[in-house]
Structure 1
Amino acid sequence: MLLVARRCSSLVGSVWPARSVPPGGPAAAMRKEPCCRVLPLPGRPEDWAEVLKTAAGVLHEGGVIGVPTDTIYGIACLAQDSRAIKGIYHMKERNGGKPLAICVREIQDIYRYCRVHVPDRLLQDLLPGPVTLVLERSEALSKDLNPFTPLVGVRIPNHLFVQQLAQACSGPLALTSANVSCHGSTLTVQEFQDLWPQLSLVIDGGPIGDDSSSVCRLGSTVIDLSVCGNYTVIRPGCALIPTLKILEKYGLTPNSQQDA
Protein backbone atom coordinates (compact mmCIF):
# COMPACT_ATOMS: atom_id res chain seq x y z
CA MET A 1 0.00 0.00 0.00
CA LEU A 2 2.71 2.46 0.96
CA LEU A 3 4.74 1.59 -2.10
CA VAL A 4 1.75 2.20 -4.36
CA ALA A 5 1.06 5.55 -2.73
CA ARG A 6 4.64 6.71 -3.18
CA ARG A 7 4.73 5.70 -6.81
CA CYS A 8 1.34 7.28 -7.50
CA SER A 9 2.42 10.58 -6.02
CA SER A 10 5.31 10.73 -8.47
CA LEU A 11 3.04 10.18 -11.46
CA VAL A 12 0.66 13.13 -11.26
CA GLY A 13 -0.51 13.86 -14.78
CA SER A 14 0.17 10.29 -15.89
CA VAL A 15 -1.53 6.94 -15.31
CA TRP A 16 -1.08 4.26 -12.70
CA PRO A 17 -2.54 0.74 -12.71
CA ALA A 18 -5.00 -0.40 -10.06
CA ARG A 19 -3.55 -1.90 -6.90
CA SER A 20 -5.47 -5.19 -6.93
CA VAL A 21 -3.48 -7.93 -8.64
CA PRO A 22 -5.44 -10.61 -10.52
CA PRO A 23 -4.19 -14.16 -11.11
CA GLY A 24 -1.15 -13.89 -13.29
CA GLY A 25 0.73 -11.39 -11.15
CA PRO A 26 1.65 -7.74 -11.69
CA ALA A 27 1.96 -8.09 -15.46
CA ALA A 28 -1.68 -9.20 -15.66
CA ALA A 29 -2.67 -6.27 -13.46
CA MET A 30 -0.94 -3.87 -15.85
CA ARG A 31 -2.87 -5.35 -18.76
CA LYS A 32 -6.33 -5.73 -17.26
CA GLU A 33 -6.87 -3.35 -14.37
CA PRO A 34 -8.21 0.20 -14.82
CA CYS A 35 -5.85 3.15 -14.59
CA CYS A 36 -6.20 6.53 -12.97
CA ARG A 37 -4.99 9.79 -14.47
CA VAL A 38 -4.44 12.89 -12.32
CA LEU A 39 -5.03 16.23 -14.02
CA PRO A 40 -4.13 19.54 -12.37
CA LEU A 41 -6.88 22.14 -12.61
CA PRO A 42 -5.52 25.39 -14.08
CA GLY A 43 -5.91 28.46 -11.91
CA ARG A 44 -8.08 30.39 -14.41
CA PRO A 45 -11.55 29.12 -15.40
CA GLU A 46 -10.96 30.23 -18.98
CA ASP A 47 -8.25 27.55 -19.15
CA TRP A 48 -10.49 24.69 -18.00
CA ALA A 49 -11.92 23.65 -21.37
CA GLU A 50 -9.68 20.62 -21.94
CA VAL A 51 -9.98 19.39 -18.36
CA LEU A 52 -13.78 19.72 -18.50
CA LYS A 53 -13.90 17.90 -21.82
CA THR A 54 -11.74 15.07 -20.48
CA ALA A 55 -13.71 14.74 -17.23
CA ALA A 56 -17.09 14.77 -18.98
CA GLY A 57 -15.85 12.18 -21.47
CA VAL A 58 -14.71 9.87 -18.68
CA LEU A 59 -18.06 10.23 -16.90
CA HIS A 60 -20.03 9.49 -20.09
CA GLU A 61 -17.95 6.32 -20.48
CA GLY A 62 -19.11 5.14 -17.05
CA GLY A 63 -16.11 6.30 -15.04
CA VAL A 64 -15.90 7.49 -11.45
CA ILE A 65 -13.71 10.54 -10.85
CA GLY A 66 -12.27 12.56 -7.98
CA VAL A 67 -13.22 16.25 -7.93
CA PRO A 68 -12.71 19.31 -5.72
CA THR A 69 -15.77 20.97 -4.20
CA ASP A 70 -16.32 24.01 -2.00
CA THR A 71 -15.94 21.93 1.18
CA ILE A 72 -13.88 18.74 0.69
CA TYR A 73 -12.82 16.47 -2.16
CA GLY A 74 -15.51 14.24 -3.59
CA ILE A 75 -15.95 11.35 -5.98
CA ALA A 76 -18.55 11.60 -8.70
CA CYS A 77 -20.21 9.69 -11.52
CA LEU A 78 -23.30 10.14 -13.65
CA ALA A 79 -26.33 9.80 -11.37
CA GLN A 80 -28.26 8.01 -14.11
CA ASP A 81 -25.53 5.41 -14.75
CA SER A 82 -26.50 2.36 -12.69
CA ARG A 83 -23.19 0.58 -13.16
CA ALA A 84 -21.14 3.60 -12.10
CA ILE A 85 -23.39 4.09 -9.06
CA LYS A 86 -22.70 0.53 -7.97
CA GLY A 87 -19.00 1.22 -8.44
CA ILE A 88 -19.19 4.12 -5.98
CA TYR A 89 -21.04 1.99 -3.41
CA HIS A 90 -18.31 -0.65 -3.74
CA MET A 91 -15.54 1.94 -3.49
CA LYS A 92 -17.06 3.50 -0.39
CA GLU A 93 -17.54 0.03 1.13
CA ARG A 94 -21.22 0.69 1.71
CA ASN A 95 -24.50 -0.70 0.43
CA GLY A 96 -27.36 1.27 -1.03
CA GLY A 97 -28.75 1.94 2.45
CA LYS A 98 -26.50 4.98 2.95
CA PRO A 99 -27.62 7.53 0.36
CA LEU A 100 -25.55 9.43 -2.19
CA ALA A 101 -26.29 13.06 -3.04
CA ILE A 102 -26.74 14.47 -6.51
CA CYS A 103 -25.04 17.59 -7.82
CA VAL A 104 -26.77 19.82 -10.38
CA ARG A 105 -25.71 22.94 -12.26
CA GLU A 106 -28.47 25.35 -11.22
CA ILE A 107 -31.56 25.64 -9.08
CA GLN A 108 -34.05 25.02 -11.89
CA ASP A 109 -32.52 21.53 -12.30
CA ILE A 110 -33.63 20.63 -8.77
CA TYR A 111 -37.27 20.77 -9.84
CA ARG A 112 -36.70 18.07 -12.43
CA TYR A 113 -35.22 15.54 -10.03
CA CYS A 114 -36.97 16.45 -6.78
CA ARG A 115 -40.33 17.50 -5.39
CA VAL A 116 -39.79 20.86 -3.73
CA HIS A 117 -41.94 22.08 -0.82
CA VAL A 118 -40.07 25.29 0.01
CA PRO A 119 -40.05 28.72 -1.67
CA ASP A 120 -37.74 29.18 -4.62
CA ARG A 121 -36.21 32.18 -2.86
CA LEU A 122 -35.09 29.92 -0.01
CA LEU A 123 -33.23 27.73 -2.48
CA GLN A 124 -31.62 30.80 -4.00
CA ASP A 125 -30.51 32.02 -0.56
CA LEU A 126 -28.87 28.67 0.25
CA LEU A 127 -27.42 27.66 -3.11
CA PRO A 128 -24.81 27.52 -4.44
CA GLY A 129 -23.14 26.85 -1.11
CA PRO A 130 -21.86 24.28 1.40
CA VAL A 131 -25.34 22.83 1.99
CA THR A 132 -27.00 19.56 1.00
CA LEU A 133 -30.80 19.72 0.87
CA VAL A 134 -32.67 16.45 1.31
CA LEU A 135 -35.86 16.39 -0.72
CA GLU A 136 -38.38 13.90 -2.05
CA ARG A 137 -36.99 12.39 -5.24
CA SER A 138 -38.88 12.38 -8.52
CA GLU A 139 -39.33 9.55 -10.99
CA ALA A 140 -36.68 11.13 -13.21
CA LEU A 141 -33.83 9.71 -11.10
CA SER A 142 -32.45 6.24 -11.64
CA LYS A 143 -33.97 3.71 -9.24
CA ASP A 144 -30.49 2.32 -8.59
CA LEU A 145 -29.52 5.58 -6.90
CA ASN A 146 -30.42 5.28 -3.20
CA PRO A 147 -32.83 2.37 -3.80
CA PHE A 148 -34.02 2.16 -0.19
CA THR A 149 -35.29 5.70 0.33
CA PRO A 150 -37.75 8.04 -1.42
CA LEU A 151 -35.45 10.97 -0.62
CA VAL A 152 -32.29 12.36 -2.17
CA GLY A 153 -29.75 14.98 -1.13
CA VAL A 154 -29.10 17.77 -3.62
CA ARG A 155 -25.99 19.94 -3.87
CA ILE A 156 -24.88 22.91 -5.93
CA PRO A 157 -21.35 23.40 -4.59
CA ASN A 158 -19.97 26.91 -4.65
CA HIS A 159 -17.19 25.66 -6.93
CA LEU A 160 -17.35 26.71 -10.56
CA PHE A 161 -15.55 23.63 -11.91
CA VAL A 162 -18.10 21.19 -10.47
CA GLN A 163 -20.97 23.37 -11.67
CA GLN A 164 -19.55 23.49 -15.19
CA LEU A 165 -18.92 19.75 -15.13
CA ALA A 166 -22.57 19.07 -14.27
CA GLN A 167 -23.57 21.36 -17.12
CA ALA A 168 -21.22 19.60 -19.53
CA CYS A 169 -22.76 16.25 -18.60
CA SER A 170 -26.33 17.46 -19.22
CA GLY A 171 -27.57 15.63 -16.14
CA PRO A 172 -27.01 15.24 -12.42
CA LEU A 173 -23.81 13.87 -10.94
CA ALA A 174 -23.86 11.46 -8.03
CA LEU A 175 -21.51 12.99 -5.48
CA THR A 176 -20.06 11.77 -2.20
CA SER A 177 -16.92 12.39 -0.16
CA ALA A 178 -13.59 11.05 -1.44
CA ASN A 179 -12.94 8.58 1.34
CA VAL A 180 -14.01 5.16 2.51
CA SER A 181 -17.10 5.36 4.73
CA CYS A 182 -16.29 6.18 8.37
CA HIS A 183 -12.84 7.50 7.41
CA GLY A 184 -11.89 11.16 7.56
CA SER A 185 -12.76 13.58 4.77
CA THR A 186 -10.00 14.81 2.46
CA LEU A 187 -8.70 18.26 1.56
CA THR A 188 -6.04 17.27 -1.01
CA VAL A 189 -5.90 14.60 -3.69
CA GLN A 190 -2.94 12.98 -1.95
CA GLU A 191 -5.13 12.25 1.08
CA PHE A 192 -7.28 9.82 -0.90
CA GLN A 193 -4.50 8.13 -2.86
CA ASP A 194 -5.72 4.75 -1.65
CA LEU A 195 -8.80 5.28 -3.86
CA TRP A 196 -6.87 6.31 -6.98
CA PRO A 197 -6.58 2.77 -8.35
CA GLN A 198 -10.37 2.49 -8.35
CA LEU A 199 -10.94 5.85 -10.04
CA SER A 200 -10.81 6.65 -13.74
CA LEU A 201 -9.62 10.24 -13.26
CA VAL A 202 -8.69 12.67 -10.48
CA ILE A 203 -8.96 16.44 -10.88
CA ASP A 204 -6.40 18.15 -8.66
CA GLY A 205 -7.74 21.54 -7.65
CA GLY A 206 -5.11 22.02 -4.96
CA PRO A 207 -5.71 22.16 -1.18
CA ILE A 208 -9.25 22.99 -0.08
CA GLY A 209 -9.90 25.29 2.86
CA ASP A 210 -7.80 25.96 5.94
CA ASP A 211 -6.52 22.74 7.47
CA SER A 212 -6.01 24.52 10.80
CA SER A 213 -9.73 25.31 11.08
CA SER A 214 -11.87 23.04 13.25
CA VAL A 215 -14.65 22.98 10.63
CA CYS A 216 -12.56 22.40 7.51
CA ARG A 217 -13.27 18.66 7.30
CA LEU A 218 -16.92 18.68 8.37
CA GLY A 219 -18.32 18.68 4.85
CA SER A 220 -21.58 20.29 3.85
CA THR A 221 -24.44 20.98 6.24
CA VAL A 222 -27.20 18.46 5.51
CA ILE A 223 -30.81 19.56 6.02
CA ASP A 224 -33.95 17.50 5.39
CA LEU A 225 -36.64 19.71 3.79
CA SER A 226 -38.93 16.91 2.67
CA VAL A 227 -41.68 17.80 5.17
CA CYS A 228 -43.66 20.96 4.46
CA GLY A 229 -42.94 23.75 6.93
CA ASN A 230 -40.29 21.79 8.83
CA TYR A 231 -36.60 21.04 8.67
CA THR A 232 -34.38 18.39 10.24
CA VAL A 233 -30.64 18.77 10.70
CA ILE A 234 -29.12 15.51 9.52
CA ARG A 235 -25.51 16.68 9.74
CA PRO A 236 -24.39 20.03 11.21
CA GLY A 237 -21.48 20.29 8.78
CA CYS A 238 -19.55 23.49 8.18
CA ALA A 239 -22.40 25.97 7.65
CA LEU A 240 -25.03 25.20 10.27
CA ILE A 241 -25.58 28.63 11.84
CA PRO A 242 -26.03 30.64 8.61
CA THR A 243 -28.21 27.85 7.20
CA LEU A 244 -30.52 27.86 10.22
CA LYS A 245 -30.87 31.64 10.00
CA ILE A 246 -32.07 31.33 6.41
CA LEU A 247 -34.53 28.54 7.27
CA GLU A 248 -35.97 30.60 10.12
CA LYS A 249 -36.22 33.62 7.82
CA TYR A 250 -38.73 31.65 5.75
CA GLY A 251 -40.70 30.47 8.77
CA LEU A 252 -39.54 26.85 8.81
CA THR A 253 -39.49 25.17 12.22
CA PRO A 254 -37.32 22.30 13.46
CA ASN A 255 -38.87 18.86 13.28
CA SER A 256 -39.86 17.85 16.79
CA GLN A 257 -38.46 14.36 16.16
CA GLN A 258 -35.00 15.46 15.04
CA ASP A 259 -32.03 14.24 17.02
CA ALA A 260 -30.46 16.51 19.59
Structure 2
Amino acid sequence: MSGGRPGLGEMGGGRPPGREALSAETADQSPTRVRLRLRTEPAVSAGWREAVAAAVGALQEGGLVAVPTDTVYGVACLAQDSRAVQSIYSLKGRNGTKPLAICLGDVEHIYRYCHVNVPDELLQDLLPGPVTLVLKRSEELNKDLNPFTSLVGVRIPNHPFIRELARACPGPLALTSANISSQASTLTVSEFQDLWPQLSLVVDGGPIGDVQSPECRLGSTVVDLSVSGKFTIIRPGCALTSTVEILRQKYGLVPESS
Protein backbone atom coordinates (compact mmCIF):
# COMPACT_ATOMS: atom_id res chain seq x y z
CA MET A 1 0.00 0.00 0.00
CA SER A 2 1.79 3.08 -1.20
CA GLY A 3 1.27 6.68 -0.31
CA GLY A 4 -0.41 5.87 3.00
CA ARG A 5 -3.77 5.42 1.29
CA PRO A 6 -6.34 3.29 3.05
CA GLY A 7 -7.19 -0.14 1.69
CA LEU A 8 -10.35 -2.21 1.81
CA GLY A 9 -9.68 -5.90 2.36
CA GLU A 10 -12.44 -8.40 1.49
CA MET A 11 -12.50 -11.80 3.22
CA GLY A 12 -14.51 -14.90 2.48
CA GLY A 13 -17.89 -14.19 0.96
CA GLY A 14 -18.44 -17.73 -0.31
CA ARG A 15 -15.96 -17.45 -3.17
CA PRO A 16 -14.84 -20.77 -4.67
CA PRO A 17 -11.58 -22.30 -3.41
CA GLY A 18 -8.49 -22.05 -5.54
CA ARG A 19 -8.96 -18.34 -6.24
CA GLU A 20 -6.88 -17.10 -3.35
CA ALA A 21 -5.45 -13.67 -4.04
CA LEU A 22 -4.67 -10.40 -2.36
CA SER A 23 -4.98 -7.93 -5.21
CA ALA A 24 -5.16 -4.17 -5.33
CA GLU A 25 -7.59 -2.15 -7.39
CA THR A 26 -9.07 1.32 -7.30
CA ALA A 27 -12.26 1.36 -5.26
CA ASP A 28 -15.42 2.71 -6.84
CA GLN A 29 -16.03 5.11 -3.96
CA SER A 30 -12.82 7.06 -4.48
CA PRO A 31 -10.13 6.96 -7.18
CA THR A 32 -7.50 7.52 -4.48
CA ARG A 33 -8.55 4.56 -2.37
CA VAL A 34 -6.84 1.17 -2.75
CA ARG A 35 -8.98 -1.92 -2.29
CA LEU A 36 -7.35 -5.15 -1.16
CA ARG A 37 -9.52 -7.95 -2.48
CA LEU A 38 -9.05 -11.23 -0.64
CA ARG A 39 -10.53 -14.39 -2.16
CA THR A 40 -9.81 -17.05 0.43
CA GLU A 41 -10.97 -19.26 3.27
CA PRO A 42 -10.45 -18.02 6.84
CA ALA A 43 -7.15 -18.27 8.65
CA VAL A 44 -5.55 -21.05 6.61
CA SER A 45 -4.44 -19.50 3.34
CA ALA A 46 -1.71 -17.35 1.90
CA GLY A 47 -4.29 -14.65 1.28
CA TRP A 48 -5.20 -14.37 4.93
CA ARG A 49 -1.54 -14.30 5.90
CA GLU A 50 -0.95 -11.46 3.45
CA ALA A 51 -3.93 -9.56 4.85
CA VAL A 52 -2.61 -10.00 8.39
CA ALA A 53 0.83 -8.82 7.27
CA ALA A 54 -0.68 -5.74 5.62
CA ALA A 55 -2.56 -4.90 8.82
CA VAL A 56 0.51 -5.42 10.99
CA GLY A 57 2.51 -3.14 8.72
CA ALA A 58 -0.10 -0.41 8.93
CA LEU A 59 -0.27 -0.70 12.72
CA GLN A 60 3.51 -0.59 13.13
CA GLU A 61 3.54 2.66 11.15
CA GLY A 62 1.17 4.15 13.71
CA GLY A 63 -1.96 3.65 11.64
CA LEU A 64 -5.53 2.75 12.54
CA VAL A 65 -7.03 -0.41 11.07
CA ALA A 66 -10.71 -1.35 10.89
CA VAL A 67 -11.35 -5.03 11.59
CA PRO A 68 -14.28 -7.41 12.00
CA THR A 69 -14.87 -8.93 15.44
CA ASP A 70 -17.40 -11.40 16.82
CA THR A 71 -19.81 -8.57 17.74
CA VAL A 72 -19.38 -5.40 15.64
CA TYR A 73 -16.70 -3.78 13.48
CA GLY A 74 -13.82 -2.32 15.43
CA VAL A 75 -10.92 0.09 15.00
CA ALA A 76 -7.56 -1.02 16.33
CA CYS A 77 -4.11 0.44 16.90
CA LEU A 78 -1.05 -0.67 18.83
CA ALA A 79 -1.84 -0.06 22.48
CA GLN A 80 1.79 0.72 23.27
CA ASP A 81 1.84 3.51 20.65
CA SER A 82 0.69 6.66 22.46
CA ARG A 83 0.22 8.71 19.29
CA ALA A 84 -1.92 6.01 17.71
CA VAL A 85 -4.04 5.77 20.85
CA GLN A 86 -4.67 9.51 20.68
CA SER A 87 -5.58 9.12 17.01
CA ILE A 88 -8.40 6.75 17.96
CA TYR A 89 -9.86 9.34 20.31
CA SER A 90 -9.63 11.97 17.59
CA LEU A 91 -11.19 9.65 15.00
CA LYS A 92 -14.22 8.89 17.14
CA GLY A 93 -14.59 12.26 18.84
CA ARG A 94 -14.32 10.21 22.00
CA ASN A 95 -14.27 11.62 25.52
CA GLY A 96 -10.68 11.45 26.72
CA THR A 97 -11.74 9.90 30.03
CA LYS A 98 -13.55 7.01 28.37
CA PRO A 99 -11.19 4.02 28.42
CA LEU A 100 -10.13 1.80 25.53
CA ALA A 101 -9.99 -1.98 25.82
CA ILE A 102 -6.99 -4.04 24.79
CA CYS A 103 -7.29 -6.98 22.42
CA LEU A 104 -5.12 -10.09 22.69
CA GLY A 105 -4.84 -13.29 20.70
CA ASP A 106 -4.88 -15.85 23.51
CA VAL A 107 -5.85 -16.11 27.17
CA GLU A 108 -2.28 -16.73 28.35
CA HIS A 109 -1.29 -13.25 27.12
CA ILE A 110 -3.62 -11.65 29.67
CA TYR A 111 -1.20 -12.36 32.50
CA ARG A 112 1.47 -10.08 31.02
CA TYR A 113 -0.75 -7.01 30.91
CA CYS A 114 -3.12 -7.62 33.83
CA HIS A 115 -3.10 -8.74 37.45
CA VAL A 116 -5.51 -11.68 37.38
CA ASN A 117 -7.43 -12.60 40.54
CA VAL A 118 -9.81 -15.18 39.08
CA PRO A 119 -9.17 -18.82 38.09
CA ASP A 120 -7.68 -19.43 34.69
CA GLU A 121 -10.63 -21.72 33.99
CA LEU A 122 -12.96 -18.72 34.31
CA LEU A 123 -10.99 -16.84 31.69
CA GLN A 124 -11.08 -19.88 29.44
CA ASP A 125 -14.85 -20.22 29.89
CA LEU A 126 -15.52 -16.64 28.77
CA LEU A 127 -12.75 -16.08 26.23
CA PRO A 128 -12.52 -16.04 23.31
CA GLY A 129 -16.00 -14.66 23.09
CA PRO A 130 -18.21 -11.55 23.08
CA VAL A 131 -17.13 -10.47 26.57
CA THR A 132 -14.79 -7.74 27.83
CA LEU A 133 -13.19 -8.57 31.19
CA VAL A 134 -12.07 -5.59 33.28
CA LEU A 135 -9.01 -6.40 35.40
CA LYS A 136 -6.26 -4.55 37.22
CA ARG A 137 -3.63 -3.45 34.73
CA SER A 138 0.04 -4.37 35.07
CA GLU A 139 3.06 -2.14 34.68
CA GLU A 140 3.69 -3.64 31.23
CA LEU A 141 0.84 -1.65 29.72
CA ASN A 142 1.42 1.74 28.13
CA LYS A 143 0.95 4.39 30.82
CA ASP A 144 -0.66 6.71 28.26
CA LEU A 145 -3.45 4.20 27.66
CA ASN A 146 -6.27 5.03 30.09
CA PRO A 147 -3.94 6.90 32.49
CA PHE A 148 -6.90 7.87 34.67
CA THR A 149 -7.61 4.32 35.88
CA SER A 150 -5.78 1.32 37.31
CA LEU A 151 -8.05 -1.02 35.36
CA VAL A 152 -8.22 -2.18 31.76
CA GLY A 153 -10.76 -4.09 29.71
CA VAL A 154 -9.53 -7.17 27.87
CA ARG A 155 -11.05 -8.55 24.67
CA ILE A 156 -10.29 -11.80 22.85
CA PRO A 157 -12.94 -11.82 20.11
CA ASN A 158 -14.03 -15.18 18.75
CA HIS A 159 -13.04 -14.19 15.22
CA PRO A 160 -10.08 -15.80 13.48
CA PHE A 161 -8.79 -12.73 11.65
CA ILE A 162 -8.44 -10.40 14.61
CA ARG A 163 -6.99 -13.17 16.76
CA GLU A 164 -4.33 -13.88 14.14
CA LEU A 165 -3.68 -10.15 13.88
CA ALA A 166 -3.27 -9.82 17.65
CA ARG A 167 -0.87 -12.77 17.73
CA ALA A 168 1.22 -11.23 14.95
CA CYS A 169 1.62 -7.85 16.66
CA PRO A 170 4.47 -7.02 19.05
CA GLY A 171 2.07 -6.04 21.84
CA PRO A 172 -1.61 -5.67 22.61
CA LEU A 173 -4.04 -3.88 20.34
CA ALA A 174 -6.19 -1.03 21.59
CA LEU A 175 -9.69 -1.77 20.31
CA THR A 176 -12.90 0.21 20.10
CA SER A 177 -16.01 0.14 17.93
CA ALA A 178 -15.84 1.54 14.40
CA ASN A 179 -18.19 4.47 14.78
CA ILE A 180 -18.35 8.04 15.96
CA SER A 181 -18.88 8.11 19.73
CA SER A 182 -22.56 7.95 20.76
CA GLN A 183 -23.60 6.69 17.30
CA ALA A 184 -24.77 3.14 16.56
CA SER A 185 -22.24 0.34 16.27
CA THR A 186 -21.52 -0.88 12.74
CA LEU A 187 -22.08 -4.31 11.20
CA THR A 188 -20.74 -3.62 7.68
CA VAL A 189 -17.79 -1.57 6.46
CA SER A 190 -20.08 0.72 4.45
CA GLU A 191 -21.75 1.85 7.67
CA PHE A 192 -18.56 3.62 8.79
CA GLN A 193 -17.46 4.82 5.36
CA ASP A 194 -17.15 8.37 6.70
CA LEU A 195 -14.19 7.17 8.80
CA TRP A 196 -12.27 5.56 5.93
CA PRO A 197 -10.15 8.62 5.04
CA GLN A 198 -8.62 8.52 8.54
CA LEU A 199 -7.89 4.78 8.47
CA SER A 200 -4.79 3.07 7.10
CA LEU A 201 -6.62 -0.15 6.23
CA VAL A 202 -10.17 -1.47 6.26
CA VAL A 203 -10.57 -5.25 6.48
CA ASP A 204 -13.96 -6.29 5.16
CA GLY A 205 -15.21 -9.52 6.71
CA GLY A 206 -18.72 -9.09 5.36
CA PRO A 207 -21.84 -8.35 7.42
CA ILE A 208 -21.61 -9.29 11.10
CA GLY A 209 -24.87 -10.85 12.26
CA ASP A 210 -28.28 -9.58 11.18
CA VAL A 211 -27.89 -5.95 10.13
CA GLN A 212 -31.64 -5.44 10.65
CA SER A 213 -31.53 -6.56 14.30
CA PRO A 214 -30.80 -3.95 17.00
CA GLU A 215 -29.63 -6.75 19.29
CA CYS A 216 -26.71 -7.42 16.95
CA ARG A 217 -25.36 -3.92 17.64
CA LEU A 218 -25.13 -4.29 21.41
CA GLY A 219 -21.41 -5.02 21.46
CA SER A 220 -19.63 -7.17 24.01
CA THR A 221 -20.78 -7.69 27.57
CA VAL A 222 -18.41 -5.73 29.84
CA VAL A 223 -17.85 -7.18 33.32
CA ASP A 224 -15.51 -5.90 36.05
CA LEU A 225 -13.68 -8.74 37.83
CA SER A 226 -11.12 -6.59 39.63
CA VAL A 227 -12.62 -7.22 43.09
CA SER A 228 -11.99 -10.75 44.35
CA GLY A 229 -15.11 -12.89 44.61
CA LYS A 230 -17.35 -10.28 43.01
CA PHE A 231 -18.37 -8.94 39.61
CA THR A 232 -19.95 -5.78 38.26
CA ILE A 233 -21.73 -5.59 34.93
CA ILE A 234 -20.59 -2.34 33.29
CA ARG A 235 -22.42 -2.92 30.02
CA PRO A 236 -25.01 -5.67 29.47
CA GLY A 237 -24.03 -6.24 25.85
CA CYS A 238 -24.94 -9.31 23.84
CA ALA A 239 -23.83 -12.08 26.23
CA LEU A 240 -25.23 -10.95 29.59
CA THR A 241 -27.27 -14.02 30.53
CA SER A 242 -24.61 -16.61 29.74
CA THR A 243 -21.85 -14.54 31.35
CA VAL A 244 -23.71 -14.03 34.63
CA GLU A 245 -24.67 -17.70 34.72
CA ILE A 246 -21.02 -18.75 34.44
CA LEU A 247 -19.85 -16.24 37.04
CA ARG A 248 -22.53 -17.05 39.62
CA GLN A 249 -23.31 -20.72 39.18
CA LYS A 250 -19.93 -22.13 38.20
CA TYR A 251 -17.56 -19.85 40.13
CA GLY A 252 -19.72 -18.51 42.96
CA LEU A 253 -19.06 -14.84 42.26
CA VAL A 254 -21.65 -12.37 43.49
CA PRO A 255 -22.62 -8.91 42.22
CA GLU A 256 -20.45 -6.28 43.90
CA SER A 257 -23.51 -4.45 45.22
CA SER A 258 -24.54 -7.57 47.17
- Unaligned stretches of 5+ in structure 1? 1-7, 19-29
Shift of 1:147: 1.3
Normalized per residue, which structure has more helix?
1
Aligned to 2:110: 110
Amino acid at match of 2:256: N
Which deviates the most, 206-215 or 193-202? 206-215
**In the alignment, which residue of structure 1 is the partner of 2:128?**
128
Partner residue of 1:250?
A: 251
Compared with structure 1, are the counterparts of its residues 180 and 68 closer, same or farther at alpha carbon in structure 2 (3 Å cutoff)?
Answer: same
Shift of 1:170: 2.7
Secondary structure at the aligned position of 2:133 is classed as strand
Offset from partner CA, 1:128-178 (integer Å, 9 cap, x none): 000000111111011111111111100000001000001111311000000
TM-score by length of 1: 0.84
TM-score with structure 2 setting the length: 0.85
| Structure 1 residue 49 displacement after superposition | 1.1
The alpha carbon displacement at 1:14 in A equals 3.7
User: 2:69 and 2:237 mapped to 1: Cα distance?
Assistant: 14
Using the TM superposition, give the Cα deviation of residue 17 of structure 1 relative to its aligned residue in structure 2, in angstroms: 11
What is the deviation of 1:214?
A: 3.7
Cα distance in 1, alignment partners of residues 132 and 168 from structure 2: 21
Question: Which residue matches 1:50?
Answer: 50
What is residue 202 of structure 2 aligned with on the other side? 202
Q: Distance in 2 between matches of 1:169 and 1:51?
A: 13
CA distance in 2, matches of 1:89, 1:174: 11
Out of 36, 51, 75, the residue aligned to residue 39 of structure 1 is 36
Separation of aligned partners in 1, 2:38 and 2:242: 30
Determine helix, strand or coil for the equivalent of 1:56: helix
TM-aligned CA distance change 1:212 to 1:16, over 3 Å: closer
Deviation string, structure 1 residues 168-190 (Cα, Å, up to 9, x no partner)? 11311000000011000000000
Unaligned runs of 5+ in 2: 1-7, 9-23
Residues 38 and 150 of structure 1: is their aligned pair in 2 closer, same or farther, counting only changes over 3 Å?
Answer: farther
Q: Distance in 2 between matches of 1:237 and 1:182?
A: 15
From the superposition, tell whether residues 49 and 240 of structure 1 become closer, same or farther in structure 2 (CA, over 3 Å): same
Query: Percent of aligned positions with the same letter in both sequences?
Result: 65
Q: What's the CA shift for 1:94?
A: 1.9
Q: CA 1:198–1:254 in structure 2 vs 1: closer, same or farther (change >3 Å)?
A: same
How many residues get paired? 232
In the TM superposition, residue 41 of structure 1 has moved relative to its aligned partner by 4.7
Distance apart, 1:39 and its partner CA: 3.2
- Measured against aligned partners, the alpha-carbon deviations of 1:76-111 in whole angstroms (never above 9, x if no partner) come to 000000110010011111243000000001011000
Q: Which residue of 2 aligns with 1:82?
A: 82
How far has the Cα of 1:215 moved from its partner?
A: 1.3
Task: Tell me, in whole angstroms, the C-alpha distance in 1 between the residues paired with 2:90 and 2:127.
Answer: 30
What does residue 181 of structure 1 align with? 181
For the pair 1:236 / 2:233, whether they are aligned, the reply is: no
Aligned equivalents of 2:76, 2:33: Cα separation in 1? 14
Say if 1:223 and 1:231, in contact at 8 Å, map to a contact too.
yes
